[in-house]
Amino acid sequence: MKTVFHFLNTGNYSGAENVVLNIALLVKDAKHVYVSPDGRINAVLAKYGVEHLTIEDLSVKSLGAVIDRYQPDIVQAHDFTASIAAALNRRRIHAYGGHIISHLHSNDARMTKLSPLSILYRWALPAFDQVLVVSQAVIDEYYFKKALAKKAQVLPNIVNPEILAEKVAAFEADPVDIILVGRLVPQKGYDFFLEMIAPLLHRYSAWTVRIVGDGPLEGDIRQQIQTLGLNQQIELLGYHDNPYPYMKAAKIMVLTSRVEGFGLVALEAELLGDPVVSTAVGGLTDLVNKQVGLASNDVAALRDEIERLLTNEAYRHQKAEAAAKRGQEVNRVSDFVGRLTKLYEED
């Protein structure tokens, strides 16, 4: 049985971390060890019995120290920082017969242009035995896309249905019209969402919005909500390790990301029967279509779709059914497990 060490740059618990948890739980023909700094992920891994090796921070030196001590068969790096650190340790990994997989779960605006990050990752590419990306958009939007296209294969993220059902049943949340879930960071576009939704909330004073997540922009977002006069309609819930009952209680999900590798929360929303309205970026264009909601970068079109969904119950119900069906079609768990199992066996 191969030993796979999964390296991540932070101790957060969000989209990529959730996927790594699913790999550890679902790909049973390998031994998995999760390597990251301390953080919110600790309790999650302990709950599901996933082995966790904590490090102070992820660096070339700390990754090398783990490699020297444990010599895992496969080093699976789940972000850009971890991937570059692994590449810089390629000689010691390959010296004992280990393999490196760079697994990119997100996109980064710096990768779309000539920047230190895009150059470093281009330099690192030859060190990787395999590169996995969550959508074709990760390849197409990379500055050195021809080089990445030769090395990478697309492996869409998945949701573990059993864990999703368990978490949805944990408690019942109060109803809400619109929900957003994600870190309060620039790439998620919350400032754009607030400017876009403000005219509708002023027109429909009974509508409510719930934002689940925390991050460095919380103060700015609170100030913008106050400036727009939306304090009574928008609730900032903060971080929650189980956002799914809140998602289930919402009429629609909105995502206004500026960049998005896959858009796992959109898939989760669809599986829960939420119509999704999103910006047309990255992997969201593969997940969201006119049958389940709308993916567009046109402000007027986004407003029109939200208004129609929240004022026409038959229209919303039709798209909710389509969303649940689309989620089942996209969430190919057996294919995901089978491809990773084969990849681990080959490496």
Structure tokens at 90: 């390629």
Under DSSP, is residue 243 helix (H, G, I), strand (E, B) or coil? coil
SS3 37: coil
Collapsed DSSP state (helix, strand, coil) of residue 154: strand
pLDDT in tens, 201-223: 999 999 999 999 999 999 999 99
Percentage of the chain beyond pLDDT 90 is: 97
Longest CA–CA span in the chain (Å) reads 65
Q: How far is CA 1 from CA 4, 5, 35, 49, 73, in A?
A: 10, 13, 19, 18, 9
Q: Please list the residue range(s) of the chain that carry CATH number 3.40.50.2000.
A: 2-158+332-346, 162-330
The answer to whether 300 and 243 have CB atoms below 8 angstroms apart is no
Q: Is the dihedral of CA 149, 86, 24, 179 positive or negative?
A: negative
Q: What are phi and psi of 149, to 5 degrees?
A: -60, -30
Looking at the whole model, is its pTM more than 0.85?
yes
Class of domain 162-330: alpha beta
Cα–Cα distance list, 260 to 8, 60, 109 (Å): 18, 27, 9
Give the angle 309-311-314 at the CA atoms, nearest 5°: 65
Please tell me what DSSP assigns to residue 174: P
In angstroms, rounded to a whole number, what is the distance separating the alpha carbons of residues 343 and 272? Answer: 31
- pLDDT for 346 equals 83
As its CATH architecture, domain 2-158+332-346 has 3-Layer(aba) Sandwich (3.40)
CB 289 within 8 A of CB 319: no
pLDDT, tens digit (0-9, with 9 covering 90-100), for 15-60: 889 999 999 999 999 999 999 999 999 999 999 999 999 999 999 9
- Interior CA angle at 320 toward 316 and 322, to 5°? 120
Residue 168: its pLDDT value, please?
97
On whether the CB atoms of residues 7 and 37 are closer than 8 A, the answer is no
